[in-house]
Structure formats: C-alpha cells, structure tokens
Amino acid sequence: MSKWAIFNGGSTIGKIGAEGGLILSDEECYDGARITLKRGGGFVSVSLNIYGWMDHTRFFNSDHDAMREYRAMKPAAVTVLNIINAEGVSDIKIWEAISDFVRRFP
C-alpha cells in the first residue's frame, strides 16, 4: 500500500477549510492524492483529491460515519492511484477506475 502522511506537517489541522469546515484530519499520499476530514455547522465531510484527476467530497451526519468512510476511502484511492501511475494505461481505464471509486463512495 502507498504511504500516507500528515499533510504539510499538520499545519492545516484546526484551520477552516474552503467550505467553512474545521479540518480534523488531513493526509497526503505520496503517489498523488490528499484526503481531508472536516466538521462544519451541521455536517462532517470527507474530501479526496487525486491530483490532476478528481476532487470528490462526501457529507455525513456524524463523526463516526465520516471517520469510517475516511478510513475506507484511503485504500480505494490507492487502487485508483496505482492505475493512474501504471505504465501505458489509457485514460479510459483511469476514468473507469475513478468512476468505480465514485460509485462505491457516492
């Protein structure tokens, strides 16, 4: 599995994100992705950005549900990254992998 690390040395934790949520967790995968858990007024969100390919945000009613999905999304994102970073893979195969990810994590 690809390595995930705290994004930017943890400097974003406790800051307000773009849509107004407080950043609770923020990690980056060295293979090209970032996942962020935020809590705002009446919502908790998980955002996954696969650099240059997609930005996908999901909203939840509880911290528990959001954290469960945050954990589940990380290895699934690595699966997509492995396809993106493989030699000779067509864009169609990459978009199929991204579509599968979004269907699994609507």
Eight-state DSSP code of residue 17: -
Is-contact 36 23, C-beta < 8 A? yes
Eight-state DSSP code of residue 8: G
Rg of the Cα trace of the chain? Answer: 14
pLDDT for 20 equals 85
Return the domain boundaries, the chain.
4-104
Report the distance separating Cα 81 and Cα 63, nearest Å: 26
Mean pLDDT of 23-29: 98
Phi, psi of 15 (to 5 degrees): -90, 165
For residue 58, the one-letter residue type is: R
- How many C-alpha atoms does 94 have within 13 Å on its Cβ side? 15
* pTM (predicted TM-score): 0.94
pLDDT for 11 equals 97
The band of 19, judged by pLDDT with boundaries at 50, 70 and 90, is confident
Token look-up 């939840």 returns 60
Share of the chain above pLDDT 90, in %: 92
Q: What confidence tens digit (pLDDT) does each residue in 37-88 have?
A: 999 988 999 999 999 999 999 999 999 999 999 999 999 999 999 999 999 9
Extract the tokens encoding 69: 């999905």
pLDDT for 91 equals 97
Average predicted confidence (pLDDT) for the chain = 96
